[in-house]
Amino acid sequence: MTSRTQVAIIGAGPAGLFLAHLLHRAGVSALVIENRSRAYVEGRVRAGVLERTTVELMDKLGVGARMRREGIVHQATNIAVGERLFRVDFTEVSADALVMLYGQSEVMRDLGDAAVEREIPIVYEASEVALHDVDSDAPSVTFTHEGKVQRIACEYIAGCDGFHGVSRGTIPESVRTTFERVYPFGWLGVLADVPPCMHELVYANHERGFALASMRSPTRSRYYVQCSVEEKLEDWPDERFWDEVSLRLGSSVAPHITRGASFEKSIAPLRSMVCEPMRWGRLFLTGDAAHIVPPTGAKGLNLAVSDVIFLAEALVERYAGNGSGSTAGIDGYSARALARVWRAERFTWWFTSLMHRFPTMEGFDRRMQSAELEYLAESKAARAVFIENYIGLPL
As beta bridge partners, residue 149 has 144
Task: Tell me if 2-72+100-180+271-352 shares its fold with 184-270+358-390.
Answer: no
Catalytic pick from 21, 291, 299, 356? 299
Confidence of residue 44 (pLDDT cuts 50, 70, 90): confident
CA within 13 Å, CB half, 22: 26
359 is catalytic: no
Please choose, from the candidates 287, 28, 71, 293, the residue with its C-alpha nearest in 3D space to the C-alpha of residue 168: 287
Cβ proximity of 252 and 216 under 8 Å: no
Higher pLDDT, 298 or 280: 280
Mean pLDDT over the full length of the chain: 95
295 is catalytic: yes
Starting at the edge strand that comes first in sequence, how are the strands of the sheet with 279-280 ordered?
Answer: 122-123, 30-33, 7-10, 156-159, 283-285, 279-280
E-strand ranges in 220-376 read 220-227, 262-276, 279-280, 283-285, 291-292
Reply yes or no: is the peptide bond before residue 195 cis, omega within 30 of 0: no
Instruction: Report whether pLDDT(323) > 80.
Output: no
Q: What pLDDT digit, counting tens, does each position of 64-107 carry?
A: 999 999 999 999 999 999 899 999 999 999 888 889 999 899 99
- Distance of alpha carbon 204 from its chain centroid, rounded? 21
Cβ proximity of 21 and 120 under 8 Å: yes
Superfamily of domain 2-72+100-180+271-352: FAD/NAD(P)-binding domain (3.50.50.60)
DSSP at 282: T
Catalytic pick from 14, 295, 319, 356? 295
Catalytic pick from 21, 74, 291, 356? 74
Instruction: Report whether pLDDT(45) > 90.
Output: no
CA within 13 Å, CB half, 10: 32
DSSP at 253: T
74 is catalytic: yes
Q: What pLDDT digit, counting tens, does each position of 9-42 carry?
A: 999 999 999 999 999 999 999 999 999 999 999 9
E-strand ranges in 193-312 read 202-206, 209-217, 220-227, 262-276, 279-280, 283-285, 291-292
For residue 227, the one-letter residue type is C
- What is the rounded radius of gyration, in angstroms, for the C-alpha atoms of the chain? 22
As beta bridge partners, residue 88 has 77
224 is catalytic: no
203 is catalytic: yes
Phi, psi torsion values for 79, nearest 5 degrees: -125, 125
Q: Nearest 5°: CA angle at 298, between 64 and 362?
A: 170
Range 184-270+358-390 has CATH code 3.30.9.10: yes
Domain ranges of the chain: 2-72+100-180+271-352, 184-270+358-390
Overall pTM surpassing 0.85 (yes/no): yes
Catalytic pick from 102, 156, 183, 203? 203
Q: Nearest 5°: CA angle at 200, between 46 and 306?
A: 45
